[in-house]
Amino acid sequence: MVSDPKSHIVVDDGRRYLLRVNKTFDVIAIDPPPPIEAAASSLLYTTEFYQVAKKHLAPDGILQQWFPGGDDKAQDAVERSLRQAFPHVVAFRSIGPWGYHYLASISPIRDLTPAEFVAALPPLARRDLMEWNPELTIEQMAQNILSGRVALESLLSPKGTEMVTDDRPYNEYYFLRRRHLIK
């Protein structure tokens, strides 16, 4: 909630903001607008951006990155970029058909039980979460979310090598990939 003194919402270019401040955060949430091919959001998927964000995370901090979906090769490149920047990355299938949510950290990311997940949610977050499926209990919703956890290694293509970088924003090259002009 905006009025919560524990929250700090920044409406700005996220990368530029992080380059200007000398702060650490428990959570950095990245919710770039689709499509992932757009030049305006492509630099929020780069290895270099993740390195900048990592420097601003508290020791047990979490970077949360939404990937709304796109072609498999671009998703693979984004996942490789995250893995290049962070030693610990997990993925969760999004509720509904909207891609994946990635959690990345310099510290291990432990599995939570649905009860632990629910216990960690403040009342307003519980209410917001239940807007998605009001016919479920909060515990059922937590189970649905947590059961979507996927090992990043299972998503990565064994043939993939591309990453999204500042100099090569791979996710922007969808037209050339679809025409088989580049890999």
pLDDT digits (tens, 9 = 90+) for 147-166: 999 888 888 888 877 878 77
Q: What is the DSSP letter of 56?
A: T
- For residue 98, the enclosing domain spans 14-111+148-178
| In the predicted structure, residue 175 carries a pLDDT above the cut 70 | no
* Percent above pLDDT 90 for the chain: 44
Residue 118 maps to a domain: no
Residue 32 maps to a domain: yes
Q: CATH number for the domain including 45?
A: 3.40.50.150
How far apart (Å, rounded) are the C-alpha atoms in residues 115 and 139?
Answer: 7
Give the model confidence (pLDDT) of 62-85 as tens digits: 999 988 877 788 888 889 999 999
Residue 136 maps to a domain: no
Residue 1 maps to a domain: no
Distances (CA, A) of 155 to 82, 112, 120: 13, 21, 28
Residue 37 maps to a domain: yes
| Residue 156 CA, distance from chain mean position | 15
Number of domains in the chain: 1
Whether 104 and 89 have beta carbons less than 8 Å apart is answered as yes
| Long-range CB contact pairs, 161-165, < 8 A, 24+ | 161/80, 162/73, 162/76, 162/77, 162/80, 163/47, 163/77, 163/80, 163/81, 163/84, 164/42, 164/45, 164/46, 164/47, 164/74, 164/77, 164/78, 164/81, 165/46, 165/47, 165/48, 165/81
